Amino acid sequence: MKILVLDAFSGISGDMFLGALFDLGLSQTDFETELKKLPVTGYHLTVTPSSRSSIQGTDFDVILDDHQVKDNGITEHGHHHGRSFATIKQLIAQSTLAPTVKRRATALFEQVAIAEGHVHHKSLEDVHFHEVGAIDSIVDMVGAAIALELMGIDRVIVNNLADGSGTIEIAHGTVPVPVPAVMQMRIGTAIPIHQRFDVHTELITPTGMAIVKCCATAFDTTSDGVIERTGYGFGKRETGSLNALRATLVNSQLSQQTVNQEQDHVTLLATNLDDITGQQLADTIAGLLDRGAKDAWSEPIVMKKGRPAYKLCCLITPQQQAAIVTYLLTTTPAIGIRYHHVHRAIMDRQVKLVTTSYGPIHVKYLRYHNTTKRTLEHDDLRQLATTHQLTMADLQAKILNELTTMEQKG
């Protein structure tokens, strides 16, 4: 599973999010090919590597064509025109974008439209994105959904989310920070936001908040796995300190790689459930792994009165016990959780990205006293097998042979 961890110590905007994903390796060509599936013109994109505080990152910008800037939402008759939420929703629905991208992009627009509607006391149908803002918003929001899809992100975690303080001048006039649309989106959520009183401007824009609200599944948490890459997307505002969003790509399938001990102490939690749905069970297992469980699974059992049921289990550290028990008691029908402290014999693990003639592949090297093993990362193998039109078994044998030759050569 690929997890995107956003370190939002200087907030988040649509531009910062896309800048960070380009810095992580998102292809501009692939991104623009997808974006062109929407009939929107009058802009071009700039993706510029740059440096702030001596840190290399990426500046992303949507540049509007001249007539768009002059037009600024006013027709020659002096009337405001623009695209309504319904028009934009239809534009997305009628495109050839992937269904997951359509769903996510629409959800992002809906978040902003609902918030704007509340703040300005308009119905959802009456919320309009004025022409210039609409192009920028379409690129940022549809772009965010495209970027997550192209990068194969399964989960998003947001840490250290911060906003500034004071007031800013926008088209509406002087507004307080967090800006009204952001404040509105926070209603009904417990998304933790730290307000920085050293920064007297906006750090979280409405688009940034919509990305957080629609895409993030966990906040202020660590994620087990191998950190594959990290990147920085720069913000436009002068904040007096580094204005960047840091994005980190974590591969949780390669978790516990760097355990360098042969025995450890873990806690095994278990609960029997005869009233949980299959969907809830799968979500709970995903939620446990997301919260840092070393492993989580279910076992089919038969309970009293012949009831078919599931035993839900997970392995965690003793320090995680209180938080995970609370999670299970609040999100499942469980009314009690058994726990056991268990010892495990484990192999030393190290994961290396190895370049082979078939492409790069993660290899897990395992050792226990004199016993050694190595395994190839299944997802990488599947992807390379598709690329080279080989069966996975064939490709595995070829790559293992190549590794043996490499090792013999030293």
Ligand X SMILES: O=C([S-])c1cc(C(=O)S)c[n+]([C@@H]2O[C@H](COP(=O)(O)O)[C@@H](O)[C@H]2O)c1
Residue 94 burial class via C-beta count within 10 angstroms: exposed 0-12, middle 13-18, buried 19 and up: exposed
Specify the residue for token string 């960047």.
244
Could you say which of 42, 73, 82, 133 contacts ligand X (CB under 6 A)? 133
Contact region with ligand X (CB under 6 A), list: 38-46, 167-175, 299-307, 328-336: 167-175
Contact region with ligand X (CB under 6 A), list: 84-92, 131-139, 155-163, 288-296: 131-139
Task: For residue 13, state whether it binds ligand X (rule: CB under 6 A).
Answer: yes
Nearer to ligand X (CB atom), residue 109 or residue 310: 109
Task: For residue 205, state whether it binds ligand X (rule: CB under 6 A).
Answer: yes
Nearer to ligand X (CB atom), residue 202 or residue 290: 202
Contact region with ligand X (CB under 6 A), list: 56-64, 129-137, 213-221, 379-387: 129-137
Helices (H), 187-316: 206-215, 278-290
Give the separation between CA 196 and CA 242, rounded to whole angstroms: 13
Cβ neighbors of 144 (< 8 A, separation 6 or more) are: 14, 17, 18, 104, 105, 108, 207, 211, 215
Could you say which of 110, 131, 163, 202 contacts ligand X (CB under 6 A)? 202
State the CB neighbour count (10 A cutoff) for residue 403: 17
Helices (H), 180-303: 180-186, 206-215, 278-290
Report the residue count for the chain.
Answer: 410
Least CB distance to Ni ion at residue 210 (A): 13
Task: For residue 137, state whether it binds ligand X (rule: CB under 6 A).
Answer: yes
Find the binding residues for Ni ion in span 102-131 (CB under 5 A): 116
How many Å from the N-terminal Cα to the C-terminal Cα in the chain?
Answer: 32
Task: For residue 11, state whether it binds ligand X (rule: CB under 6 A).
Answer: no
Give the separation between CA 370 and CA 125, rounded to whole angstroms: 69
Task: For residue 19, state whether it binds ligand X (rule: CB under 6 A).
Answer: no
Residue pair 5/226 in contact (Cβ under 8 Å)? The answer is no
Least CB distance to ligand X at residue 146 (A): 17
Least CB distance to ligand X at residue 292 (A): 32
Could you say which of 180, 235, 287, 292 contacts ligand X (CB under 6 A)? 180
Binding site for ligand X (CB under 6 A): 13-14, 116, 119, 133, 136-137, 170-172, 175, 179-181, 202, 205-207
Q: Which residues bind Ni ion (CB under 5 A)?
A: 116
